[in-house]
Amino acid sequence: MPIIDMRNLTFTYTGAGKPSILGVDILVEPGEFVVLTGPSGCGKTTVCRCLNGLVPNFYSGEMTGNVKVTDLDVRKTSTMELAKYVGFVFQNPENQLFSLSAERDVAFGPENLGLPRDEIRRRVDWALQATGISNLRNMAPYELSGGQQQRAAIAAVLAMKPTLMVLDEPTSFLDPKSAQEILDVISRLNRELKITIFLVEHRLDAVSRYADRVIVMDKGRVVLDGKPFDVYGEQAWLIGVGVPKVTMLFRLLRKDGISLDSIPITVEDATKELRRKLTS
Amino acid sequence: MIEVENLCFTYPNGKDVLFNVDLKVQDGEFVAIMGENGAGKTTLVRHFNGLLKPTTGRILVDGNDTRKSSVASLARSVGLVFQNPDHQLFCETVKDEVAFSLKNFGYPEETVERRVRGILETLDLMSYIDSSPFMLSGGERKRVALASVLVWNPKHVVLDEPTIGQDYQQKDRLRNFILQLNTQGKTVIVVTHDVEFIAECKPRVIVLSTGRIVGDGPAVDILTDEQLVNKASLVRPQIAKLMSSLSDVGLPTNVIDLFTARSVLASKLERI
């Protein structure tokens, strides 16, 4: 049974002239690591909002089609019930943090699940450590930089131990090294705890190595869906997807008439292929 | 010219953020300020239009000491685009938002209309002219914030993390636009973590780490310096990594952008 089951979903925000998403089909199996990408304004955030019921329960509008998450119909399930299974990290961490310390923010979710005190403490420690902000636990959100805030927001979701995590560009505000660390953390949650990951991301160079699948949207529709290697072709590039630089380099070289056996998605694979060519 | 002399800054809560920063940005320069989260990049650039005043040291903008000038007068020459567009946007339509500053500066109606349309076209926002900024996506709001500052044509433009939430095509457009501003003689200062973006623009790069300047030089020198890049929590661009890991088979290590890498490799591989 898919953990995300979105079929023929169309949604138009109240007051908008045209639908933000149009006939979207997305199926995600438990344990998958799926990356959703596409040009700005293509409907990625709206898809995410459909997964925790913010659309249409909070952002009103007209919805047709079906969306089920962990077998629950999003429209008929309360946000509180969904929150037990689906963790959501927003684009902007400031919208997510509200306490006077990072620690309080992270404890908020588990407290509301009614967990015993010891368990809450354990989860808070673990989540703060996993996101590398144990030393910032007593800081208020406004004392943290953008990147540190996003880590706190991720920690707050982690502490709920969700079965599905939906992350809407969680690394945007992070410096490259912290972004890599966060992606490592997300990947570990996926591998070790089998949490299903649904990640919206522009920076495909950093995330490609972890993704089982990449879905590309354009103008409200899903236009590509497959393994990273299969998706990063000419079409993705033309739409405006940030195909990894090494992938682009190899495609350009092929255009220049250079014969290359494979098109890499990581620097390591690119290095191997070029070394072979240059030393042969 | 923007001159920073021995700048130290401490927030009212006692947190020290900047230590003895000395920096000169000439008119018409294109500069990127890079460094880890919390390094003090945003704090530094907020001094340029007087939003923050030095704890000690001083900032001169075209010779004017920022402690003695109001933000309103400094803003005419230094346009600052915030990292988070929601800190900046408040009007009901994109058009009103972008026209706001020009109206306040007292420009005639026709000039306002023409300039607003011009900048919206450049930033691919014309189709949203009558939409509410809050109906737009994160990436689009970011461009509206950019438009609302660039529209008054400030002499120095400071962009705090302009590429966040922008897709590849938008970044390409932004890059061309920045280079265009720069050719027009404007000073462009970009605060960013986006090493791939900077690798394609190749400006002067200033590296800030824990409140101090630890590197200053051409992008090619800075972004291929693994030790320096690591220190500031950055990573080397993919192309730089690729080229340096193949230096033993004769590839140059001073390449960071796609275009140069393509021509270097094409000529090398053609001969095989």
Q: Would you call A139 an interface residue with chain B, using a CB distance cutoff of 8 Å? A: no
In chain B, which among 150-189 make CB contacts under 8 A with chain A? 161, 164-171
| pLDDT at position B271 over 80 | no
0.80 cut: is pTM over it?
Answer: yes
Q: Would you call A79 an interface residue with chain B, using a CB distance cutoff of 8 Å? A: no
**Which of A94, A175, A245 has the CB atom closest to B233's CB atom?**
A175
CATH number of A1-85+164-173+196-242: 3.40.50.300
User: Phi and psi of A227, rounded to 5°?
Assistant: -70, 150
> Min CA distance, A144 vs chain B (Å)?
8
| pLDDT at position B272 over 70 | no
Q: Would you call B109 an interface residue with chain A, using a CB distance cutoff of 8 Å? A: no
CB < 8 Å to A94, chain B:
84
Count of A-B CB contacts under 8 Å: 146
| pLDDT at position B34 over 90 | yes
Strand A86-89 relative to strand B2-10, pairing: unpaired
What chain B holds in terms of domains, given with CATH numbers, is: 2-218 (3.40.50.300)
pLDDT at residue number A249: 94
Judge: A172–B238 Cβ closer than 8 Å, yes or no. Answer: no
CB B100 within 8 Å of CB B115: no
Chosen from A58, A150, A177 to mutate, greatest number of chain B CBs within 10 A: A177
| pLDDT at position A83 over 70 | yes
What is the CA B269 to chain-centroid distance, rounded?
36
Of the listed ranges B47-61, B95-109, B238-252, the one predicted with least confidence = B95-109
A11 contact partners, CB below 8 Å, separation of at least 6: A19, A20, A21, A46, A50, A55, A56, A61, A62, A63
pLDDT in tens, A26-68: 999 999 999 999 987 899 989 999 998 888 888 999 999 999 9
| pLDDT at position B90 over 90 | no
Average pLDDT over residues B196-220: 96
Q: Would you call A241 an interface residue with chain B, using a CB distance cutoff of 8 Å? A: yes
- Is ipTM over 0.90? no
pLDDT at residue number A70: 92
Percentage of residues in chain A having pLDDT higher than 90: 52
| pLDDT at position B71 over 70 | yes
> Min CA distance, B223 vs chain A (Å)?
13
pLDDT band at residue B110, thresholds of 50, 70 and 90?
A: very high
DSSP codes, B3-20: EEEEEEEE-TTS-EEEEE
> Min CA distance, A111 vs chain B (Å)?
30
Of the listed ranges A83-92, A121-130, B89-98, the one predicted with least confidence = A83-92
| pLDDT at position A202 over 80 | yes
CB A9 within 8 Å of CB A15: no
Tell me what the pLDDT averaged over chain A comes to. Answer: 90
Q: Which residue of A has its CA nearest to B163?
A: A172
Q: Where are the domains of chain A?
A: 1-85+164-173+196-242, 244-280
**Spatial separation of the C-alpha atoms in residues A132 and A204, rounded to whole Å:** 23
Judge: A40–B196 Cβ closer than 8 Å, yes or no. Answer: no
pLDDT at residue number B83: 81
Judge: A202–B242 Cβ closer than 8 Å, yes or no. Answer: no
> Min CA distance, B261 vs chain A (Å)?
8
pLDDT at residue number B167: 79
The structure tokens listed for B182 are 């720069």
